[in-house]
Amino acid sequence: MKPSMNEKRVGSPRHMVLVLVEGALVLGVLSACGGVAAETVSGSPAIVTGATGPEQCQGIPVKEQQMGLVAFREAIVSAAPVRELKAAGKAHMPMDRGVELAILAQPGMSAPWLTRVATCHIAALRAGRVGSAGLAADPLASPGAVVYVREASSGYLVSVTGESLESALDIVGRARALMSLPKESVASVVAP
């Protein structure tokens, strides 16, 4: 799945971080200890920077730090499977890769903001700064989760994928748990 010019990608340890914003390519590699590093290729400022320390989440409200995308449950309208065709001899079999969450646009929300929230939340998870309550309904809490954010006509599409079938199925299960929660009760279920 190739990112378009307004897609953002953040990930887990040992995964590349790819951010394409308005033609600027930003690459980074997450360190084995779970930190996030970024480098600007085109000379534009990096969107994904910092380590797993508090600076990773600077300016992000505590609710979004602790809950990640779950903080926007009221705006999440659907979760659809992400599948990829894998060659099996001459046949091509669909393989689950994760889920795509459709999020309605909200005042102040943007693709870069959702990317920052996801990056912060993943870093906080890796650093152990997120409580365990509600993680069963958090697709970003799946080990090895990789996130792509792109704009859609009425909001944003956030793909959360895993590299293996196990991680993809874990992400799908967490997304199902998220979608089964009543929208108004998410804060009480997931709050730290």
Q: Looking at the chain, which runs of residues are DSSP E strands? A: 8-10, 16-21, 24-29, 39-40, 76-88, 91-104, 146-152, 155-161
Q: In the chain, what are the domain boundaries?
A: 61-190
Q: Nearest CA to 119 among 19, 44, 20? A: 19
Residues 6+ apart with CB under 8 A from 57: 65, 120, 123, 124
CATH class of residue range 61-190: alpha beta
Mean pLDDT for all residues in the chain: 74
pLDDT of residue 10: 52
Mean pLDDT of the 25-39 span: 32
Tell whether the model's pLDDT for residue 135 goes beyond 80.
yes
Question: 11, 122 in Cβ contact below 8 A?
Answer: yes
Question: Across residues 86-106, what is the average pLDDT?
Answer: 90
Q: Is the dihedral of CA 89, 90, 96, 101 positive or negative?
A: positive
β pairing state of 24-29 and 76-88: unpaired
Per residue in 149-172, pLDDT (tens digit) is 999 989 999 999 998 889 999 999
Collapsed DSSP state (helix, strand, coil) of residue 35: coil
Please determine, for residue 178, whether its predicted confidence score (pLDDT) is greater than 90.
yes
pLDDT at 163: 84
The neighbour count for residue 3, using CB atoms within 10 Å, is 16
